[in-house]
Amino acid sequence: SDRRKGLSGMSSGGKTDLHHMIKGILWGVLIGVAVTVLLLLIFALAMTAASLPLAAADWLSAAAFCMVALAGGFTASTIVKEKGLLTGLLCGIVLMAITFLIGTIFSKIDTSLFLLVKAAGSILFGMLGGILGVNRKHRRIKY
């Protein structure tokens, strides 16, 4: 059968098209934002309770950044069900861009090497989440 290919380069009858991938990435970003709020709240409480120095905030935010990208990439690729590496990469990039934009709006522009570490962590953990989400085994419910 002769199927036409859409803008995404995938067959129009295929399950993974551009619209479906964008939907998955948007859901991944939404989950990532929710995880961000939760983790930053937990880390702020932990810093206060343990009386950690302010320098610990950079490392905790980097850890949160990586976990957020992992959760976002995992969610996105679970929805898309294909191309986990690409889906996770795109989700990590979008989350990194959102975080960078919010950081530059509400704070001074951070052009340090630590920003590159956070960006690399976001991209790598987003891709890892994408791979894990695609390769997740689906359980069958037995009645």
pLDDT tens readout for residues 31-77: 999 998 999 899 889 888 888 888 788 888 888 889 999 999 999 99
**In this predicted structure, what is the pLDDT of residue 20?**
87
Query: Nearest CA to 123 among 76, 80, 73, 57?
Result: 73
Indicate the pTM of the whole model.
0.78
pLDDT tens readout for residues 103-114: 778 776 666 777
Contact of 34 with 90, CB cutoff 8 Å = no
